[in-house]
């Protein structure tokens, strides 16, 4: 697609979901770094998310993490979000923090622990129903650290049993997004280590089960855009968890380490129809040393820039060079789009949406950062360990 009005229309319709946990305090395995003005409740996280949406125009949904975002009335929380121009997005389960899950959750050798974990997953489906959320996102830290620690195949059986129970509980129009991770915290085997394992389980479950690709959850050198292209082709790509990495699951700002990789991924998304097929574009990041809201705004902008460049690829010219076996010519078509400065185009898009063409400057001038530092005094800050 190189027609500018069509590119603008696609960019205006794009939506990037922000994660509630990114607004709270986070850190490394050694230290959680507190920042002034951090939210103390799910409602205050939504207040901050509303600022991101106001200044970018394309961040209308917020993912929740349970139990980090537990409230008494989820319907009321959904209404609170709606009053701020937002909707509640994916419900993320948490079966990795309790002491009971030291040897696994749904794949634990003890049936009692498995029942507890499944109960939490079904509770998350109840929360979906209460909030109107479409997606349930499942990530499991389950795995083993030593050869012989547990039966590898039996753990897959236990996993399949739990996934099937959750799948059967999903209502109409709901989806299960199964996320995978190469390693950590388990180091010998991880029960859902790669896209193939996630895909195999989703394929057996049915159309409501889709794969979630986290851009930081792969072995070094993995061609993520190939995975994206294949899953789109099979109609099994449900969502992204966007972030960036240098070494492992760094959870840095999307596009920070390798913006060219992000462009390559987004080109396959565009080519495979992923912008219009219901794929959820989510952020999953930890802002440990940078201020939260500006980092999330910048992340949304990074996704927009990569998407704009992907939309500008001359696909007719690319197809022609590919048919002719013109290796350098084909690469040049992609590189021409990647090397295009799309910031003026995105500034026009934002002006047409009725927002400031420079979201970062507009946020700085808004006074929100100073306001929340002054107002959010006392109470328990949200974040790891909160």
Alpha carbon of 22 to those of 77, 284, 299: distances in Å?
Answer: 18, 7, 11
Domains within the chain, CATH numbers bracketed: 4-375 (3.20.20.150)
Give ∠ CA 122-123-127 in degrees, rounded to 5.
Answer: 115
Among 162, 140, 135, smallest CA distance to 62 is for 135
Half-sphere exposure of 260 (CA within 13 A, CB side): 5
Q: Which of 225, 123, 139, 141 is nearest to 184 (CA)?
A: 141
Length of the chain: 386
- Averaged pLDDT, groups of 10, the chain, 386 residues long: 87 98 91 94 98 98 98 98 98 97 98 98 98 98 98 98 98 97 96 98 98 97 98 98 96 97 98 96 96 98 98 98 98 98 98 98 98 96 76
Q: What is the pLDDT of residue 3?
A: 87
Cβ 38 vs Cβ 60: under 8 Å: no
Residue-level pLDDT at 333: 98
The 10s digit of each residue's pLDDT in 67-97 is 999 999 999 999 999 999 999 999 999 999 9
152 phi and psi angles, rounded to 5 deg: -60, -50
Q: What is the pLDDT of residue 29?
A: 79
CA 115 and chain centroid, separation: 27
The C-alpha torsion from 87 through 89 and 93 to 97, rounded to 10°, is: -70
Rg (CA), the chain: 21
What pTM was computed for the model? 0.97
Distance CA 194, CA 217 (A): 8
């Amino acid at each position: 697609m190189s027609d500018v009005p069509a590119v603008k229309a696609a960019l205006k319709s794009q939506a990037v979901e922000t994660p509630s946990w990114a607004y709270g305090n986070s850190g490394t395995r050694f230290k959680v770094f507190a920042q002034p003005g951090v939210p103390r409740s799910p409602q205050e996280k939504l207040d901050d998310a509303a600022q991101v949406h106001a200044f970018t125009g394309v961040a209308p949904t917020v993912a929740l993490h349970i139990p980090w975002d537990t409230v008494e009335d989820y319907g009321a929380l959904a209404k609170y979000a709606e009053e701020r121009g937002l909707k509640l997005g994916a419900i993320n389960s948490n079966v990795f923090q309790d002491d009971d899950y030291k040897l696994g959750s749904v794949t634990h050798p003890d049936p009692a622990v498995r029942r507890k974990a499944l109960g939490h997953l079904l509770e998350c489906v109840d929360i979906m129903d209460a909030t109107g959320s479409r997606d349930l996102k499942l990530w499991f830290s389950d795995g083993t650290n030593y050869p012989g620690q547990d039966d590898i195949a039996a753990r897959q059986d236990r996993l399949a049993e739990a996934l099937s129970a959750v799948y059967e509980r999903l209502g109409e129009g709901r989806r299960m997004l199964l996320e995978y991770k190469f390693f950590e915290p388990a180091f010998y085997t991880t029960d859902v280590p790669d896209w193939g394992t996630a895909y195999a389980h989703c394929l057996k479950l049915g159309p409501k089960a889709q794969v979630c690709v986290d851009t930081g959850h792969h072995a070094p050198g993995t061609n993520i855009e190939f995975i994206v292209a294949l899953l789109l082709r099979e109609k099994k790509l449900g969502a992204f968890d966007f972030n960036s990495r240098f070494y492992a699951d760094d959870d840095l700002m999307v596009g920070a380490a390798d913006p060219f990789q992000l462009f390559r991924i987004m080109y396959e998304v565009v080519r495979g129809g992923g912008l219009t097929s219901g794929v959820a574009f989510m952020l999953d990041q930890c802002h440990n040393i940078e201020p939260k809201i500006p980092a999330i705004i910048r992340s949304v902008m990074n996704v927009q820039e990569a998407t704009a460049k992907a939309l500008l690829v001359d696909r007719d010219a690319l197809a022609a060079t590919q048919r002719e076996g013109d290796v350098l010519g084909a690469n040049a078509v992609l590189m021409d789009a990647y090397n295009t400065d799309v910031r003026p185009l995105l500034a026009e898009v934002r002006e047409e949406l009725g927002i400031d063409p420079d979201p970062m400057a507009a946020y700085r001038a808004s006074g929100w950062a100073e306001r929340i530092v002054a107002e959010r005094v006392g109470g328990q800050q949200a974040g790891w360990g909160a």
